[in-house]
Amino acid sequence: MAQLAEAVFGPGPDRSDLSAVARRFTHAIERCHPGSRLAYDGQGELVGATIFSPRGGLLVLSLAIVDEHLQGRGVGRAMLEHFPAARAGRNRVVMSSLDPKALRRYTKLGLAVRPCLSACGILRPGAVMAPAGAEQCSPLEGAAVVDALAREARGEAYGDDIRMWETSGDTLHLVGEEGAAVRQGGVIRILVARDERAAIRVLRAALAGVPPGETVHLRHVREGQDWALRTAVQAGLPLSPDGPLFSDEPLGRFHLPTGSVF
C-alpha cells in the first residue's frame, strides 16, 4: 500500500494508517481518473491499480502497479484489458517504469518508445534562483493559465487534475502567461510552457521553491528536452535512466510530467 500511495501522491512521510491511505487513494482515482481500474483481494484490501486519464483525444495510462506479493499472477494484465485501441485523432500515452515486465507489456501495445532520463537529488546550495517576474499561487488561482498552456504543450487541458493539486496543497509557479509548473515539496508534478525560454524560467522558479535539503524529483525528460537537463545539471542534480514514455504521436517539447499525472 505504501508503494501505491507514493506512486499517486508522491514521496512523503511514513503512512502508518493504511486504511486512510486506501480511502484517499480510491477517492482521488474515482474523482479525477474515472477510466481507471482498482483490484482488491478476498479481504477487500486494495492490491493493485491502473490510473487511466481520458482527456479529449489524449488518453494517458500513468500508473499500473500491483502489490509485490501478487505480481506475476495476471492481476496487472487483467486491469489492462480495457486499454483503448489505436484510432485516428487519439494519442495514447503510457508512463512506464524500468521494470522489464512493464516494458514488455507496453511494447506489445504497438506504441512508439520515447526513452527518458530523470534528474533526482538534492539541489546544490545557492545554485538556482527564481527569475525576475516569477510568481507563485495555488493551482486553482492560476487554473486558466495552466489549462491554456496545457492545450498548447500537450494537446489537452488538465481540468479536474488542477483541483486534485489544490486539495493536495501543491504550489503553482507562473512566469506570466508563458510558463507554469506545479510543485509538491521537491516533486515537479508538471511543467507546461510556450517556448524554451519560458520553460527554463519556470523550471528555475519551481526548483528555487524546493525547501532546502529536500529531494528534487524531475522525471520523464525525453528527446528534445535538453533545456531541462541543462537546467537540472546546473542546479547540481544527477541524471539517471528513467522509465520511458510510450505514445502514438510525438510529444511536446515544452511539457514535463512527473508522478501520476501526464
pLDDT string in tens for the chain (262-residue length)? 445 545 444 454 443 444 454 555 555 555 555 555 555 556 666 666 667 777 778 888 776 666 566 566 565 566 666 666 667 677 889 888 898 888 988 888 889 999 999 999 999 999 999 999 999 999 999 999 999 999 999 999 998 889 989 988 999 999 999 999 999 999 999 999 999 999 999 999 999 999 999 999 999 999 999 999 999 999 999 999 999 999 999 999 999 997 667 8
Answer for the pair 30, 46: CB distance below 8 angstroms, yes or no: no
Q: What is the pLDDT of residue 69?
A: 62
Q: Cell numbers for 14, please give them.
A: 511514513
> Contacts by 124-128 with C-beta closer than 8 Å and gap 24+?
124/235, 124/236, 125/212, 127/234, 127/235, 127/236, 128/204, 128/207, 128/208, 128/231, 128/234, 128/235
State phi, psi for 33 to the nearest 5 degrees: -135, 70
Whole-number pLDDT of residue 86: 63
Query: What is the structure's pLDDT at 12?
Result: 45
State how far Cα 167 lies from the chain centre.
16
Dihedral Cα 10, 15, 20, 22, nearest 10 deg: 50
Q: Who's near 130: CB < 8 A, 6+ residues apart?
A: 204, 205, 208, 209
- Report the relative pairing of strands 58-66 and 91-95 from DSSP bridges: parallel
Comparing C-alpha atoms, which of 189, 132, 188, 134 is closest to residue 161?
Answer: 189
Please give the pLDDT value at position 57: 81
pLDDT computed for residue 201 by the predictor: 98
pLDDT of residue 172: 98
- Tell me, what DSSP letter sits at residue 133? T
Q: Calculate the CA dihedral of residues 17, 160, 171, 18 and round it to 10 degrees.
A: 10
- Give residue 99's pLDDT: 86
Nearest to 168 by CA among 3, 8, 1: 8
List of residues 6+ apart from 242 with CB closer than 8 A: 98, 116, 117, 118, 219, 220, 221
Domains along the chain with CATH numbers: 2-114 (3.40.630.30), 119-257 (3.40.630.90)
Per-residue pLDDT at 228:
98
